[in-house]
Amino acid sequence: PQSVMFPGLHPMAMMSTAGMGYSSRGPGLYGSGPAPYPYQGTLPTQQGVPVADAQETTFLYIPNNSVGAIIGSKGSHIRNIIRFSGASVKIAPLEQEKPVDQQTERKVTIIGSPESQWK
């Protein structure tokens, strides 16, 4: 699928909203520009659970030399990311069975609603 083609990019980012009637000037008019962001209200799913409450798990792989920048001084930056987004963010430790010099990236697990994962 497309999510494999663009690692780290949420699959919903691949959807285009152009020409879907969100522009007040009408789709396709010269100078109308891109359509504004579509309505993001809470819509019930088939099970009656609001879409905003659906939890997703996303995996990112970041270079080892970037881990410190994401964590920040005494964990301050990652705590701010978690607080601002409302998602759970966990960085996997280095694997014990592999030599450190062979490990070039770390797995980051983000759990939350699609909206919170984008923040």
As a whole number of angstroms, the distance between CA 64 and CA 105 comes to: 5
pLDDT band per the 50, 70, 90 thresholds, residue 10: low
pLDDT in tens, 69-78: 999 999 999 9
| Cβ atoms of residues 26 and 35 within 8 Å | no
**pLDDT above 50 for 97:** yes
Q: Which domain holds residue 91?
A: 50-119
Could you tell me if residue 42 is inside a domain?
no
Q: Give residue 11's pLDDT.
A: 57
pLDDT in tens, 13-52: 555 444 444 444 444 444 444 544 444 445 455 555 555 5
Residue 71: CATH number of its domain: 3.30.1370.10
Could you tell me if residue 112 is inside a domain?
yes
Tell me the whole-structure pTM to 2 decimals. 0.54
Identify the CA nearest to 7 among candidates 57, 60, 56. 60
As a whole number of angstroms, the distance between CA 114 and CA 54 comes to: 8
| Cβ atoms of residues 31 and 24 within 8 Å | no
